[in-house]
Amino acid sequence: METANLHFLSTYLKKWSYQDSRISISYSYFTELGYGRQFIDMRISSPQNMVNEILNRAVHKVKENYLNSKQVSAEFSVRLVNETETQRKLNLFLSKILKEFNTNKRSRGRVRMISNRSMDFYYNDFEYEPLSDQEKFYVHLNRGVNKMNGDLWSAAVEDLKIALSFDPDDPQTNKYMADSLIKKKNAKEALPYLEKYAENAKSLESYNDLTHAYIKIEKFKEAEKVLTKMNSQNSNDLQVKILQAQINYLQSKQYLIQLDKIREIDEEWLREYLKKSWEYNLPGHHKEESKMWNAATASRYLGYDRPFDLTKKAFNDELPCYFDSERGTIRFVKAELDQWVEIQNRYRIDGLSYKVYKDRLSDDELKIGNSKARKKKKTKIAEGKGAVA
């Protein structure tokens, strides 16, 4: 009979409910199929009963995964590795939680702090050292993911580096490493990991992430090469089409025709992408602050009565800007605002119509706004009295 080996890696208490007497636990594990994470919501009972419920559900989920993979026959079993020790540690973990739950339930409104939220099954060196390289890989992968979930990006990078030392080609670990580095604002350092991720995964998702990374660091030729691979996999995918439009926009090439074609296919999808994911900031325009506008100038140009109304939209990522958190300054680029107005009006993203007001600016302010402007086809921007519904 075929056997799958289930290794528990860690558990985490997500929440508990006094009213319903329930707790929610997440756990991570690995099998021959790879790494996994699951979430369980259950009624609070004795620690041993909860241990049995967690393990039974975990085994059932693993069986389901194996059957869906079609790599085994219906007649196979799941073996819980280190079953006795796993049960003991889970029992201890849940006993501590139950003790805190009952103590806090009697606290009569005082602050309810939870001190025992997580458990690493291989926390101790004497438990970790005997593991095989494959097992150590999953231990550090899991620790890295746990730290990512806690927004501990630097700590996550350290564990993911160790994981990659055991399996440098693993696609998902390379993706996690790249994501962590990007969160640390190290896009260039993340690039090799995204390239490795795409090289081994060969999926639309991995190519999409790599394309975005190339766009971020303005390597547009490399981005277009990846798009070619994406196009060969699925030429009808909207993500492929809009990424090509994005690259053209950033290179001051024709892009509106491509967006129009996407609108014909799925107008709502296009609006949502342009609202949340489109990159309006043009390369090179942000390098000299002397050639950018402050909020007062930009707000008059867009017809706002107060700079506050403009900066509020900017801080909500509703229009392109450059914010320096250390200096507390916010700056705008005329070329980007013009393109933003054009896109907003053409595709009615938020249901409003926007106009620009050159007559509200001095010649010097217009000169600043027009400096370093890219050579492109002139876009007709409507002039008038402000944003209207």
Residue 112: the pLDDT is: 55
Residue 289: the pLDDT is: 85
Tokens of 383: 């002039």
Residue 381: the pLDDT is: 45
CATH 3.40.50.1220 describes domain 147-276 = no
Number of residues written out for the chain: 389
Full pLDDT tens readout for the chain, 389 residues: 588 899 999 999 988 888 888 999 999 999 999 999 999 999 999 999 999 999 999 999 998 888 888 777 767 889 999 999 999 999 999 998 888 888 776 655 454 556 668 999 999 999 999 999 999 999 999 999 999 999 999 999 999 999 999 999 999 999 999 999 999 988 899 999 999 999 999 999 999 999 999 998 889 999 999 999 998 888 888 999 999 999 999 999 999 999 999 999 999 999 999 999 999 999 987 778 888 999 999 999 999 999 999 999 999 999 999 998 888 899 999 999 999 999 999 999 998 999 999 999 999 999 998 875 444 444 454 444 444 33
Residue 107: the pLDDT is: 58
Residue 355: the pLDDT is: 95
Residue 379: the pLDDT is: 45
Residues of the chain with CATH 1.25.40.10: 147-276
